[in-house]
Structure 1
Amino acid sequence: MDQTWTRPYPPGPGRWLVIVWEAVALAFLAWATVRQFELTGHGAKVVACAMAAAWVIGAHRILQMGAYVGAAGLRIHGLVRSRTLNWHDISHVRLHRATHRVGPFEIESGMTVVIDRHDGSTINTELWAKGVDFHARPSLFRAVYQELRTRHLEACTK
């Protein structure tokens, strides 16, 4: 599928907060590594460069995360991997109420968009109502969900 992919929503400002948080955490990890192993000179530079490279790669992936739509399908960019799905391989785009179990307690973590495929498998998207992109913009979350459903229905009726 060689085509143009567009993200049907602007990324939220919370992504930059995550990127800054990760920079601070990696800087602390580099500092602790240098102190723990008493690294000097080239050793300290190697650790600093490795942490900086990890941060640049991670920041780029965080900025690219999300769901992208095209004429022929849906592309989901995650932190580690991306997948491309043809609209005809998708049976349903739906909302899922995500919960986490901690002992006897069930903690609700909000609505997410889930893709059901014709082969019975389910694919989670990066679209989470309480996530960095939609936490303060619930109407945008609903609009993106409707956009995905509309694109899917239009592609399947052709």
Structure 2
Amino acid sequence: MPLPFLTADPDADYAADDQALPHNGPEHWRRPYRLGPWRVATAAVVLLLAAYMLISAMIIAMAGPPAGATATVVFALLTITYALRLLRMGIWVSVRGLRRVGMFTTRTLRWREIDRVRTVQQPVKWLGLPRTVQGQAVLIERRRGEPVRILLTDHNADFLGRPEAFDRAADVLEQWAAEHRG
């Protein structure tokens, strides 16, 4: 079974990844970029921690009170949910619109609500922390309503240290917006 996420060239063309999807239709939601190593590494460490918690729950269940084991299993399941949500976060596109998936919220904008998607130079947060650095950000200009938060930055968990991947993702988002907005 081919594992396209283990390719030797991390900067290979994203269009080649379309064969890895279980669907090829543009009506399905898809991420227009690959996950970054920071996000994947963080999720892997969190899942490793959850594995240790599940082993601890088994030991507690065999040697101690069931309430302690239950609490440990619940906490491990919350940790696994956090890791999976961390991997799901990001920008998704389809012919229906653009979806920004956060840790606790998901916001979808129809293409007709979007006036323009553009890349700008501005101070951006480094890995989502309060520290800001000069970088690039992909912004959405809406036709009406309040401005939308920054979509992507070149210093977030998906693009830190991968400027070519950020440029490619920004171009893909701008192209989707140009093709599908009404």
Whether these two folds match at TM > 0.5 is: yes
Q: In the TM superposition, what is the alpha-carbon distance from 1:77 to its structure 2 partner?
A: 1.1
One-letter amino acid of the structure 2 residue matched with residue 128 of structure 1 = T
Structure 2 equivalent of residue 148 of structure 1: 173
Match of 1:48 among 54, 72, 82: 72
Q: In the TM superposition, what is the alpha-carbon distance from 1:27 to its structure 2 partner?
A: 8.9
Pick closer, same or farther for the CA change 1:26–1:8 going to 2, 3 Å. Answer: same
Match of 1:59 among 83, 105, 120: 83
* 1:131 equivalenced with 2:156 (yes/no): yes
Match of 1:19 among 37, 43, 48: 43
One-letter amino acid of the structure 1 residue matched with residue 41 of structure 2 = L
One-letter amino acid of the structure 1 residue matched with residue 180 of structure 2 = A
* 1:98 equivalenced with 2:127 (yes/no): no
Conservation of the 8 A alpha-carbon contact between 2:91 and 2:101? yes
Structure 2 equivalent of residue 85 of structure 1: 109
Q: In the TM superposition, what is the alpha-carbon distance from 1:155 to its structure 2 partner?
A: 1.9
Q: In the TM superposition, what is the alpha-carbon distance from 1:151 to its structure 2 partner?
A: 1.4
How many angstroms apart in 2 are the aligned matches of 1:43 and 1:141? 47
Structure 1 equivalent of residue 136 of structure 2: 111
Q: Give the structure with the higher percent strand.
A: 1
How many angstroms apart in 1 are the aligned matches of 2:124 and 2:172? 25
C-alpha RMSD over aligned residues: 2.8
SS at match of 2:29: coil
Conservation of the 8 A alpha-carbon contact between 1:5 and 1:69? yes
Conservation of the 8 A alpha-carbon contact between 1:99 and 1:107? yes
Match of 1:122 among 129, 137, 147: 147
SS at match of 1:124: coil
SS at match of 1:98: strand
Conservation of the 8 A alpha-carbon contact between 1:74 and 1:84? yes
**Structure 2: tracts of 5 or more residues without a match:** 1-26, 54-63, 126-130
User: Could you tell me the percent identity over the aligned residues?
Assistant: 28
Pick closer, same or farther for the CA change 1:107–1:67 going to 2, 3 Å. Answer: closer
One-letter amino acid of the structure 2 residue matched with residue 148 of structure 1 = L
Pick closer, same or farther for the CA change 1:112–1:51 going to 2, 3 Å. Answer: farther
Q: In the TM superposition, what is the alpha-carbon distance from 1:65 to its structure 2 partner?
A: 1.1
**Structure 1: tracts of 5 or more residues without a match:** 30-39, 101-105
How many angstroms apart in 2 are the aligned matches of 1:152 and 1:63? 24
TM-score, with normalisation over the residues of structure 2? 0.65
Q: Which moved more, 1:44-53 or 1:78-87?
A: 44-53
